[in-house]
A and B are shown apart, each in its own frame.
Chain A
Amino acid sequence: MSMDIVYAVAYVILAPFIGGLLEGVDRKISARMQRRVGPPLLQPFYDVIKLFNKETISVDSSQTFLLLTYFVLMLVTGVMFFSGSDILMCFFVLSTAATFLYFAGVITSSPYSSIGAQRELIQMMAYEPAVLLTCVGFYLAAGTFDVREIAATDTSYIVRLPGFFVAFVFILTIKMRKSPFDTSTSHHMHQELVKGITTEMGSKNLALFQITEWYENVFLMGVICLFIVNGSFAGLLAAVAVFLLVYFLEILIDNSSARMKWQDMLIVTWIVTFFTAGVNLVILIVIR
C-alpha cells in the first residue's frame, strides 16, 4: 500500500519533467530528421515558463475552469493508474477528462477551435474501442482489472497480448496528436486548421494544456510498460527500452506521414483495432 502512494506521488512530481524532456527529445529528433539543428533539449520548459509569465488573455471566461478540470482529471487518471487501482476506471476518468477538453474547445464558438474540438471528439470515438479492448485484454490475461495485480506477473503480457499491444501503439498516435492523426490540433505551422482545438488557448491556459499533455503522455507510456514488465529488473529495463522505442516510432511516423482525413482515420483505426486486438481477444477466449 505504501509503495502505491510512493508511485502515485512520484508520478505527480516527476511526470511533467519526464513528459517535458520527452518532448524536448521529440523536437530535437524531429529537427534532425528534417536536417535542422533544433531547439535546446529544455526548450519545452522554457516555453511553458514563458507562457506562465505572460498576460492572461482569453476569449471566453469559462475556458480556464474547463482546462483546469481537464488537468486535474488527467492527474487523477495517472494517480489511479500508478497507485494500482482499476485500469478500466482509469480510462473512464481519462475519457471524462477528454470531455472537458472538448468543452474547453467548443465553449468559445471560435471557428478553428470548434472544428478542432469536433475532430478531437471523432478521435475519442476512434480510439476508445481499442482502449477498452486493451483493458479487456489485461483482464483476460491477469484475471483482474487491478493494475497492482496486473503488474505482479512473471511473464510479460506482450507474449499473450501482442495484438492488443499493436492496437494500443496504433491509437497512441491519435492520443499523442501526432501526424497522420493530428486532426484536432496541428503542431506544424500554416495549415488549414491553424492550431485546432488549442487556437484560442493563450498564455496560462496553453501552458496548462501543455503540462496536461505531458502528464497524459507519461500515463500512456505507463500503460505501454505494463505490457512488458515481469517483476524482474531486466523486465523493467526492457519496459523502458520498449517505451523509448515506441516513442521514437511515433516521432518517425509523425515526420514521415501527411495528415489523414478524419473519416479515413476513424475507419482505419477501427479496422486495425478489430483485426489486431479483436483477433487477439478471440484467440485468448478460445484457448482459455
Chain B
Amino acid sequence: MGISTVPFLILFPFAAALLIYVTRINKLRNGISYVSSVIIMAATAMLLIQWIAGGAQVTELYYDAHIADRVILILEVILMIYITVLCFKYKKYWISLLSIVPTCIIAWFELFGPKAEESARIRIDHLSLLMCLIIGIIGALIIVYAVGYMHGYHHHHREFKDRRNYFFTLLFIFLGAMYGFVLSDNLLWIDFFWELTSVCSFLLIGYTHEPVAIKNSFRALWMNLLGGTALAVGIVYLGYFSGTVSLSKLVALGADKAAVVTIPIALIAFAALTKAAQMPFSTWLIGAMVAPTPSSALLHSATMVKAGIYVLFRLSPAMAETTTGNMISFIGGFTFLITSFMAIAQSDGKKVLAFSTISNLGLMVACAGMGKAETIWAGIFLMLFHAISKSLLFQDVGATENSLHSRDIEDMHGLLYILPRLAFFMFIGIAGMFLAPFGMLISKWSALKASVNEGNIIMVFFICFGSATTSFYWTKWMGKIISASHLKETSFKDITKKNELVSLTIHAVLMIALCLLFPLLSHVYVNPLLEEMFGTYNDVLSTQILLTLVVIIVIVFAVPLLAFLYSRKMRKTYVLSYMNGVNAGNNMKFIDSFGEEKTLWMSNFYLHKWIGQRKLMVPSQFFTAAVLVVMMSMIIGGAGI
C-alpha cells in the first residue's frame, strides 16, 4: 500500500519547524512560514485525493516499522528529559513525575513487556482524514494569520522578548504532532504525539515568560500530563492483558463488550477529558488565554482540544451503553451547562470565547459518550462548525484588540460603525455558533432527539437549559456590536494586516459554504464515516428535515437582505431617543441633575454576582472530580470483580 503523502504530512511540519528555528531574518522566516503552510494545505488535499482515488477505503499502512517504533521511543524519552529539566528549573518538581512515570511504563512495556501482536502503525479512514482537513486548513490559516499578528504583537509589546522563531517553530511542531496523532493507529505512537501536543501547548502558553503565563502554563502541563499518565497506563494495561496496542482493535473489542478493554477504555476516555478541557480540568484552557492570540486560536479550534474530542469519537462505539459512556456523557453535559453560565458572566471577549469553547466541547463529549450514530453525527458537525467559527472569532478578536486596544465586549459597543470589516467577520463567527440556520442548530436538534431516544433524561435537561444560556451570551454580544455608538466620533484605525484579512476572509467563506453545503457533506462524507464506525446507520437527515432546512437557510439569508433593501427606500424623519426630556442634543448624552452634560453608557447584563466564575468554578470542580473518582472506581473495581 503506498500513500506516500502520509509520512510527508507528519514529517514535513517538523522539518519546517527546524528550518524556521534556525532562520533569524524575519522576512525570510515569514516567507518560509507562508510557503510551508501552503504546502501543508496542498499535501492534505493531496492525501484526500489519493485516498478517494484509492476507493475511500480504510487504509492501513506500515505493519513492520520497528525502527520507527524505536525512534519514537527515543524521542519520547528525550521529551521526558526536557519536561523534567523545565520542571526543575521552575521548581515544580512533582510535575516531572507525571512525565517520568508514564514514559518509564511505556518504555518498560516496549522493551521488556510481552510482545504485542503486529498491527498497522498508520490507519486512514473518514474520521482521521476529516481531522487532517481541519488541521491542514484551519491550522495552516492560523499560521498565515500569525505572521501578521506576531509582527504587530512585538511592535506593541516591547516588554516581551521577541522570540518569534521559537513561536513559529512551536506552531509547526504542533501541526506535525496533530497529524501524527490522528493518523496513527498504534497506541504507542499515539501516546508520543499526545505528549508532544501537551508540551507544545505548555510552551506556547508560557511564551511571554510573565509570572502569570508561567503559572498557567504549568497548570496546563500537569493537567495534560495527568491525562497522559492515564493514557499510558491504559495502553500498557491493554497491551499486557490483551496483547494488542492497536486503537482500532481496542474499539472493535470494546464494541463487542469484551471485559478486558473496560479499564483501558475508561482510562483513555479519562485522558481525553483532560485534553478536551472538561470539568474539572477546564481551568487550563482558560489560563491559556495569556498567550498571544494565534496560539489560543490554534489550541481552541484546530488542535489540542480537538485531539481529546477525536479520541472520544473513536472510542464512542465502545462506550455506548457502558458505565464509561455514562460517565463521559454526564461530565460533558454538565460542562456544557455550567460553563455556559460562566460565559454569561464574562465581558472579556477572549474569556467568553474560552468558556464557550469548553461549553461546546462539553456537548461534543456528551455526544461521544452516548455513542450512537446519531449523536456522533451531531458531534461531527458541532466539531466542524466549532473549528471554523472559533478560529475565525479568535483571530477576529485578536485583530480587533490590536485596533481597538481592548478586547472587552463592552468596548465593542457599535463596533460595526468603528471597525466595520472586523465587526462583520465577528458577526458571521457568532452566527455560526448558535443562530439558525448554521449547523450548530441542527446538531443540537439531532443530539436532543438522540438523548430522548436513549431515555437519557439528564442529557435532555442539560441540552434544554444549556441551549437557553448559550443563546443568551452570544445574542448579547451580537447586540453590542450593532448598537449605535458614541465612539463613531473618535476614529480608530483599522490596522489589520493583509495576511490577517486573507485568513479571516477564507474562514468566513468556509463558514458560509459549510452552512449551505452541510446536507451534501452529511450525505457524501459523514454518512460513510458513520457506516465505517458503526456498521449500520440511518440517515439522520430525513428529506422532510432537509427541506425545512433549505427553507430556513434561504429565509434567514434572504429576508434580512430584502428587508434591508426595502427599508432603505422608506422616507423617515429622525428623532431623538426618549430620555425623559433630558437629552443633550443627541442620543449619546444627557443633562444630569447638576445641569451638566454626561455621556450615556449602556451596558449588557452579566449576572456575575449570581453565576460568575468565582461562584461556580470551584464547586463544579469538586462535584465533577467527585463524580469522576466515584465512577472510575466503579469501573475499575467492577472490572476487577
Contacts and interface: CB of A to CB of B under 8 A. Distances in A.
A139 interface: yes
Contacts of B483: 106-109, 114
A30 interface: no
Contacts of B475: 99, 102, 121, 124
A92 B448 CA distance: 13
A64 B435 CA distance: 21
A57 B563 contact: no
A118 to B, nearest CB: 5
Interface in A69-101: 69, 72-73, 76, 80, 85-86, 88-89, 92-93, 95-96, 99-100
Nearest to B436: A96
B630 interface: no
Contact of B482 (A103, A194, A270): A103
Contact of B588 (A102, A107, A109): A109
Contact of B563 (A69, A117, A133, A145): A69
A129 B573 contact: no
B548 interface: yes
A49 to B, nearest CB: 18
Interface in B595-618: 600, 602, 604-605, 610
Nearest to A285: B455
B478 A110 contact: no
A103 B478 contact: yes
A245 interface: no
A196 B479 CA distance: 16
Given A140-B452, A270-B465, A110 B573 contact: no
Contact of A59 (B480, B563, B576): B576
**Chain A interface, DSSP helix/strand/loop, else mixed:** helix
A109 B464 CA distance: 31
A106 B467 contact: no
A68 interface: yes
B587 interface: yes
Contacts of A281: 457, 460
B66 interface: no
A200 B448 contact: no
- Interface size class, chain A: 35 or more
Contacts of A132: 448, 463-464, 467-468
Interface string A201-241: 01010000000000000000000000000000000000000
A278 interface: yes
B567 interface: yes
A243 interface: no
Interface string B459-471: 0110111011101
Nearest to B474: A99
B579 A128 contact: no
B435 A99 contact: yes
Contacts of B549: 89
B472 A125 contact: yes
A275 interface: no
Contact of B602 (A59, A111, A270): A111
A65 interface: yes
A109 B587 CA distance: 8
A113 B577 contact: yes
Contacts of A57: 572-575
B75 interface: no
B544 interface: yes
A145 B478 CA distance: 30
Given A73-B555, A76-B555, A102 B449 contact: no
A128 B555 CA distance: 22
A202 B575 contact: yes
Interface string B560-571: 100110111011
B3 interface: no
Contacts of A89: 445, 545, 548-549, 552
A136 B465 CA distance: 13
A88 B445 contact: yes
Interface in A184-202: 194, 199-200, 202
A2 interface: no
B90 interface: no
Contacts of A285: 452, 455, 457
A170 to B, nearest CB: 15
Most buried by A among B463, B567, B600: B567
A86 B568 CA distance: 34
Contacts of B469: 125
A36 interface: no
A125 B483 CA distance: 21
Given A129-B465, A139-B449, A69 B578 contact: no
B578 A61 contact: no
Contacts of A109: 413-414, 483-485, 577, 587-588, 600, 602
Interface of A: 55-62, 64-66, 68-69, 72-73, 76, 80, 85-86, 88-89, 92-93, 95-96, 99-100, 102-103, 105-114, 117-118, 121-122, 124-126, 128-129, 132-133, 136, 139-140, 145-146, 194, 199-200, 202, 204, 263, 270, 274, 278, 281-282, 285, 288
For the complex of A and B, 4 pairs with smallest distance between CB atoms? A110-B577, A128-B468, A68-B563, A64-B567
20 contacts: A56-B570, A57-B573, A61-B567, A66-B563, A72-B555, A86-B545, A89-B445, A89-B545, A96-B556, A100-B560, A108-B483, A109-B413, A109-B485, A111-B600, A118-B476, A121-B472, A125-B472, A128-B464, A270-B465, A281-B457
